[in-house]
C-alpha cells in the first residue's frame, strides 16, 4: 500500500522543504508542491531534488507558480507561538476528520515542547530534525535513521 503525506508547517522557513527532501530520500517517495511562490529565489522542487539526490522522474511540476515571495493567500505568518499554531492546525485537521500520521519537530530538541504537542495535540511525534550544518542526502538519511520512528512509515 502506498502512503501519501501532506507536509505543513507553522511558518515560512521552518523546514518543510527539508522534511520533504528527507522523506523523498528515505522512503523513495515522489515530491509535489502544487503551488510555489517566490520563484525568483528558486523553487522548493529544485531544492528537494538537490537535497534528496532525486531527478525529475521523482517530482511533479507545480500547478501554479508566482514570482512574489508571499504566501498564496498573502497572509502574514509569525515565528512566535509555534506550539499554539501546531495545536490549532492539529485541531482543525482532527475536526475535518483528516488522518494525521504524526508530527515532526524541527530545530533544537525540546522535551517539553514535544510532550506538549503530543499530549494536547493527541498525536505522536514521529521524528525530529536537528539543526544541520550541511544539508545533503547523506545527512538527511542519517537523521531519518537516528531521529525518526521508522515504523511509523511502514504501517
- Is 16 a known active-site residue? no
Nearest to 50 by CA among 17, 6, 28: 17
Which distant-in-sequence residues (6+ apart) come within 8 Å of 87 by Cβ?
117, 120, 121
Q: How far apart are CA 132 and CA 116, in angstroms?
A: 24
Which distant-in-sequence residues (6+ apart) come within 8 Å of 13 by Cβ?
none
Catalytic residue, candidates 33, 43, 44, 85: 33
Taking only Cα atoms into account, the Rg of the chain, rounded to an integer number of angstroms, comes to 15
In the chain the first and final C-alpha atoms are separated, in Å, by 9
- Catalytic site positions: 33
Amino acid at each position: 500500500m502506498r502512503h501519501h503525506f501532506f507536509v505543513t508547517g507553522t511558518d515560512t522557513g521552518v523546514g518543510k522543504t527539508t522534511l520533504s527532501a528527507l522523506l523523498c530520500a528515505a522512503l523513495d517517495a515522489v515530491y509535489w508542491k502544487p503551488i510555489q511562490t517566490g520563484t525568483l529565489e528558486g523553487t522548493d522542487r529544485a531544492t528537494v531534488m538537490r537535497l534528496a539526490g532525486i531527478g525529475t522522474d521523482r517530482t511533479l511540476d507545480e500547478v501554479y507558480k508566482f514570482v512574489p515571495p508571499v504566501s498564496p493567500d498573502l497572509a502574514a505568518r509569525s515565528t512566535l507561538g509555534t506550539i499554539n499554531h501546531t495545536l490549532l492546525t492539529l485541531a482543525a485537521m482532527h475536526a475535518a476528520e483528516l488522518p494525521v500520521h504524526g508530527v515532526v519537530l524541527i530545530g533544537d530538541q525540546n522535551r517539553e515542547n514535544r510532550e506538549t504537542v503530543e499530549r494536547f495535540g493527541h498525536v505522536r511525534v514521529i521524528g525530529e530534525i536537528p539543526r544541520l550544518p550541511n544539508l545533503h542526502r547523506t545527512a538527511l538519511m542519517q537523521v531519518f535513521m537516528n531521529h525518526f520512528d521508522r515504523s511509523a512509515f511502514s504501517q
